[in-house]
Amino acid sequence: MSDDERIARETVAKVSRLARLALTDDEIDETTAQLAKMLDHFADIDALELADVEPMTQPYPLRNVFRDDVERAVLDRSEVLAQAPKAVDGRFEVPPILGLEES
């Protein structure tokens, strides 16, 4: 199967944009080819009869790992904010958010 059929170049470009990765055109070509090879590898699974196999959501045989609803120590605000590029009035200051909604 060819690279183009496994994954479209446009898909790679879109996903890299969503992940805020500034890929050049050459890098997108390269990544598309690499991802296609990986998908080829995964496609081997298609050859198996898996209808009766329960999907595995975790490799660990664990479920229901909880903590009790009890307060624990918090971090020191001044220490944390001292590591931020900018802080104002006990809060992190970040560049203005454009084109998105207020939360």
Partner 1 sequence: MSGTSSDTFLIDGADGSYEMVVGLEVHVELATATKLFSGSPNRFGDEPNTHIDPVTLGLPGALPVLNRHAVELAMRIGLALNCTVQPCTFHRKNYFYPDMPKAYQISQYDVPLNVDGWLDLPDGTRIGIERAHLEEDTGKSTHVGGSGGRIHGSASSLIDFNRAGVPLVEIVGRPDIRTPEQARQYVNELRAILVAIGASDAKMEEGSMRVDANVSVRRPGDELGTRCEIKNLNSVRSLGRAVEYEARRQVALVEAGERIRQETRHWDEGDGRTHTLRSKEDADDYRYFLEPDLVPLDPGDEWIETVRAGLPPLPAARRTALAETTGAPADGEAVMVVVDRDQDAYVLAVGEAGGDVARALVHVKEAYAEQGAEPTVPAADLAALTTMEVAGELTATQAKQVLAEIVANGGGDPAAIARDKGFEAMDTGALEVMVDEAIAAQPAAWEKFCNGEDKAVGALVGAVMKASQGQADGKAVTALLRARRG
User: Which of 3, 60, 57, 50 is CA-nearest to residue 30?
Assistant: 3
CB closer to partner 1 out of 45 and 94: 94
21-29, 31-39, 46-54, 92-100 -> range binding partner 1 (CB under 8 A): 92-100
CB closer to partner 1 out of 1 and 88: 88
User: Which of 5, 11, 12 is CA-nearest to residue 30?
Assistant: 12
Structure tokens at 51: 């209808």
3-state secondary structure (DSSP) of residue 23? coil
85 binds partner 1 (CB under 8 A): no
Site residues (vs partner 1, CB under 8 A)? 14-15, 18-20, 57-58, 60, 62-75, 77, 80-81, 86, 88-103
